[in-house]
Structure 1
């Protein structure tokens, strides 16, 4: 039996090495097993624009990459994220606007340009910001291997952690709901359980139509 609940957009953000992708995957399974309707996604998306952005960070830099990522985000919202949320599903998105505030600034893009470029993106119902001590996050990235040119060791990890913290404050000042979770020493099972509690409370806090089998 599927539970009755409203649709949500939950963005899972944070520096490389904090477990975003694994957390989204495990959280989806956890919620699925408890009867919640869940849809997982990632940005850049798996669509044409997203695949270009994801696999060509050595080709596109600065303003061009920022524009490409934003174009993919708006198309992804139109074709996937909004329809799934509006259908009553809990949408878990691995990276969203906060990642642009961080990675594009690491790529030399001015903050006001990033803000303008992403100003029409939907505000999530919840931003989950996973974080960790820089040396721990950098060691995790080193073990798994860097996915792109943005991660080159402890120095870039320190910069990324600092920019995410600055972005957290910026988003909260604008009314975005941000939940920060330190994954340095917390077992992932505990992280998932905690997030599931917060997310399900959000999903069930308003009147919704009866669930269907």
Structure 2
């Protein structure tokens, strides 16, 4: 594959979607071959997962999300990577290793459902003050069941555990502190790491 996969992760309310938009825009200024996506996907299966999350729980939800991810990797992400695109993905396997644990599953079981997807060239974990994240979440008009299941403190702790686990699987990962930084500044820090020689020369 000549393209690279960049994944942005972090707790609900940390600003992943905004940072992903800035990343895609900055990368596109250099090379138009940028594909921005998200998980769950925008496929019929992904849309079903989004709408069913309120009632689909535990193992059933974890399997549905893993199926959507596997389908998206095969049908959307890999074809873009093969065509030389940089793919920026809002959420990936780490989100399952956090959110499905909030839904009662063990990390090892969740990994069993997701271990065959391709690892990103770089996975970025955004972190912020828990008070700031909590305030952002209270401003949302609607929140998903799993957003209400945990909270910033618990999600940040679980992301730390997910990061430690994926380290043992050889994933290249970084943590970016968003405190006192604009989304543009955060994106610039991410791009500096993504364009570092050891990442830039490694498609996967």
Q: Report the CA distance between 1:206 and its aligned residue.
A: 6.9
Indicate yes or no: 2:161 matched with 1:166. yes
1:82 equivalent among 57, 70, 78: 78
**1:132-171, aligned counterparts within 5 Å?**
132-152=128-148, 156-171=151-166
Indicate yes or no: 2:184 matched with 1:189. yes
Whose radius of gyration is greater, 1 or 2? 1
- Please, what TM-score do these two structures have when normalized by structure 2? 0.92
**1:26-175, aligned counterparts within 5 Å?**
26-152=22-148, 156-175=151-170
Query: Any idea what SS the aligned residue of 1:15 has?
Result: coil
The root-mean-square deviation of aligned C-alpha atoms, in Å, is 2.0
Query: Any idea what SS the aligned residue of 1:93 has?
Result: strand
Indicate yes or no: 2:8 matched with 1:12. yes
Q: Report the CA distance between 1:193 and its aligned residue.
A: 1.1
Query: Any idea what SS the aligned residue of 1:76 has?
Result: helix
Q: Report the CA distance between 1:150 and its aligned residue.
A: 1.5
Q: Report the CA distance between 1:204 and its aligned residue.
A: 4.6
Give the Cα separation in 2 of the matches to 1:174 and 1:189: 31
Unpaired runs of 5+ in structure 2? none
Q: Which runs of 4+ in 1 moved over 4 A?
A: none
